[in-house]
Amino acid sequence: MLFVLVTAGQQKEIELDPITVSASLTPQNASKTGRNIVVIEGDQIRQLPVQSVDELIRYMPGIEVQSRGPMGTQSNITMRGGTFQQVLIILDGIRLNDPLTGHFNSYIPIAPAEIERIEILKGASSAIYGTEAVGGVVHIITKTFAARKGTSAQRISGQVTTGAYGLRNAQAGFNWQKNKTAIAGGVLQNVADGQPLRGINGFFNLSTLSLSVKHHLSDKLSVAYRGAYDDRNFSAQNFYTTSTADTSTERVITRWHHLNLAFHQKKHRFTFDAGIKNASDKFQFNKSSVANTNRSQIIQALALHHYSFSENTILTTGVQVINRSVKSNNRGDHSITNTGAFLILNHELTKNLLINPAIRAEWNERSGWEIVPQLNASYRCNKLLFRGSAGRTIRDADFTERFNNYQPVLIKTGNRIGNPDLGAESSFSYEAGFDYFATKELKLSAGWFQRFHDGLIDYVSTPYANMPRQVNLDPTGTYFLAKNINKVNTRGIELDVQYQKTISKDHSLNLSTGVVWLKSTMKDAVPTLYVSNHAKFLVNFSAQYRYKFVSIALNGLYKQRNPQTGNAAFVPISKDYFLLNARMEGHFIENKLGLFIQADNLFNRKYADIFGTVMPNRWLMTGIKVTL
């Protein structure tokens, strides 16, 4: 399912077949990948009623975002019924997933103003990306790293928002390019006193600062660098426990560095990427407790070589090395290294029939060697595009799943306990679907997928007597122990509808919606913490209508699911809920000035996505934005 959002102010035809790099690491039309791909243009972020990147993703077709707090506080991104550790987050080609825990995967150290586009690749992708690319991949591509030699651009934008509960939002960015050099940077800050909780307000102070530069040393060689800083300080009440004594606060600081070298000559193209991410996490359960302090690091290098045999055949080979480490007073000190080598072939058998086979050999210190194959194919017949894919996926446990609460401090009942003996997950996925390009304004998509999981990792309610390690546990307690679940079968159907109509120069309408039906069954009927909580029925939608200088934007979703195991009695969780965000904006001075009002959770729905976390009620705000 190909999906692109286009702002009403752009006044251009919808791009039904965009160029993507995520499916095979080689730029090609999405229709030639055989995959289900969502492409979101970066400027769309400024038009929709959202305040962070994860909020934007929440309303994209087929993506489930389970939020613990608003506006980027913390969110779990899931796809196709997987867990939040089974989605890989990538920034300009290299991974962001935190080795400490998948809960930090939505902490993307990039300002929205720097984003060129977001590509969402649904389904199995481990043959290309390795561990964690099980449910799908979210690939963020920035303006600087996407810049080409010989082009020029100058843009400065800013937005200020104020609202209820002491909300102050500010974001600004610039993009400058001339001939050989491109520079971009941005800042985003979300601050609020927050809505009242039990004995504490749901405050947050979230800041992101990023700067990047790219320079073409010659016609064949370029170098690019990005540095980013992300600081998130917030109330974390009942993020991880259901205790009434929980008045938790948490602060996560991330530092990111990325160096890219690219060289091309005739049929050859080489790229080398090196990245380092350092994150510090301080979590305090309440004022009388000792804080958990965790420092994690991921160092990685990725080398790629693309060789074009012809216009119809491209071979990509690559080598990737990743080292993950953690130092923690709760989980201990640990380090692990894995290496992968892979091969991807893009080949047009005929004008309308394309295949993309890939294979990866992955070595992990804990699990040894894994062979990961995948085959994608697509066939175009007039307005119909048929696509299919089959592939294996793998995922190793993160440090929280293996060592959470392992230091010698008494752990109260109801907490999550790590398991160092966890094995790696493995699964095999199939999918098939079609895209129907009905008109230049309307596209319909449908697909079916199935994933067979072996050894999926999740937390299972376990009494003290059955705990493998009892050193620091309460003999009367029951805990959530990380386990490899024997067999899990997930299957589903996806439907997308996309419509864009430019009625006149000052009159346009954009509509998009996605529907997903999901069902997961386990060989052993064991209640789990996350797997059993994914949406069984999910609808996401976005709509934009513009007439002259006024535009209205809506984002919404409807979710039906099983209530999560172990929820606290005080949480107003339900089996289903409907959310709607709305924004009205006036555009002035040739679209350089915008004034807007916005309402998040317009119908004041009381709900919780995860565990014991109460999400905000209706939140009203207003603001001004400038684009030069």
Q: State how far the alpha carbon of 573 is from the alpha carbons of 207, 373, 533, 545, in Å.
A: 30, 40, 12, 33
Note the pLDDT tens digit of each residue in 299-320: 999 999 999 999 899 999 999 9
| pLDDT of res. 27 | 83
| pLDDT of res. 410 | 85
Note the pLDDT tens digit of each residue in 544-576: 899 989 999 999 999 998 766 555 556 656 688
Note the pLDDT tens digit of each residue in 427-482: 999 999 999 989 888 889 999 999 999 988 888 889 999 999 888 899 998 888 99
What's the rounded Cα separation, in Å, for the pair 272 and 277?
Answer: 17
Hey, how many other C-beta atoms are within 10 angstroms of the C-beta on 13? 11
**Max mean pLDDT range (226-240, 494-508, 521-535):** 226-240
pLDDT band at 369, cuts 50/70/90? very high
Per-residue pLDDT at 5 exceeds 60: no
| pLDDT of res. 511 | 87
Do residues 626 and 158 lie in contact, with contact meaning Cβ atoms separated by under 8 Å?
Answer: yes
Q: What are the residues facing 509 on neighbouring strands?
A: 501, 545
Distance of CA 505 to the CA centre of its chain: 35
Do residues 149 and 216 lie in contact, with contact meaning Cβ atoms separated by under 8 Å?
Answer: yes
Site of tokens 């119909």: 384
Site of tokens 């060592």: 403
What's the rounded Cα separation, in Å, for the pair 159 and 168?
Answer: 11
Q: What is the mean pLDDT of residues 39-54?
A: 73
Q: What is the mean pLDDT of residues 81-110?
A: 90
> What is the rounded average pLDDT for all residues in the chain?
88
Q: What are the residues facing 594 on neighbouring strands?
A: 587, 625
Per-residue pLDDT at 4 exceeds 50: no
| pLDDT of res. 246 | 86
| pLDDT of res. 563 | 63
Number of separate domains in the chain: 1
Higher pLDDT: 2 or 311? It is 311
What's the rounded Cα separation, in Å, for the pair 167 and 370?
Answer: 49
Nearest Cα to 526, choosing from 472, 565, 492? 565
Per-residue pLDDT at 357 exceeds 50: yes
Q: What is the mean pLDDT of residues 341-349?
A: 94
| pLDDT of res. 9 | 37
**Encoding tokens for residue 213?**
């530069």
Burial of 499 per CB tally in 10 Å (0-12, 13-18, 19+): middle
Site of tokens 């160096």: 259
Per-residue pLDDT at 223 exceeds 90: yes
**Encoding tokens for residue 317?**
């080979």
| pLDDT of res. 569 | 58
Domain of 393, in residue numbers:
3-627
What share of the chain has pLDDT > 70, as a percent? 93
What's the rounded Cα separation, in Å, for the pair 585 and 182?
Answer: 31
Do residues 50 and 65 lie in contact, with contact meaning Cβ atoms separated by under 8 Å?
Answer: no
Tell me, letter by letter, the H, E, C secondary structure of 368-403: EEEEEEEEEEEEEECCEEEEEEEEEEEECCCHHHHH
| pLDDT of res. 370 | 93
Note the pLDDT tens digit of each residue in 316-342: 999 999 999 999 999 999 999 999 999
Which residue pairs, CB below 8 angstroms and at least 24 apart, start in 585-589?
585/550, 585/551, 585/552, 585/553, 586/549, 586/550, 587/9, 587/549, 587/550, 587/551, 588/549
Note the pLDDT tens digit of each residue in 262-307: 999 989 999 999 999 999 999 998 888 889 999 999 999 999 999 9
| pLDDT of res. 25 | 85
Domain at 531, CATH number: 2.40.170.20
Do residues 70 and 204 lie in contact, with contact meaning Cβ atoms separated by under 8 Å?
Answer: yes
pLDDT band at 13, cuts 50/70/90? very low
Q: State how far the alpha carbon of 411 is from the alpha carbons of 259, 370, 481, in Å.
A: 42, 36, 13
User: What single-letter amino acid sits at 462?
Assistant: T
Per-residue pLDDT at 2 exceeds 60: no
Would you list the DSSP string of 456-522?
Answer: EEEEEEEEGGG-S--TTB-TT-EEEEEEEEEEEEEEEEEEEEEEEEEEETTEEEEEEEEEEEEEEEE
What is the pTM for the complete model shown? 0.91
Note the pLDDT tens digit of each residue in 576-610: 899 999 999 998 988 889 999 999 999 998 888 77
Distance of CA 61 to the CA centre of its chain: 13
| pLDDT of res. 568 | 58
Radius of gyration for the chain, computed over Cα atoms and rounded to the nearest angstrom:
23
Per-residue pLDDT at 145 exceeds 50: yes
The residues, any chain, with a CB within 8 Å of residue 260's CB and separated by 6 or more, are: 92, 93, 145, 214, 222, 223, 224, 225, 271, 272, 273
Nearest Cα to 41, choosing from 23, 15, 59, 64? 15
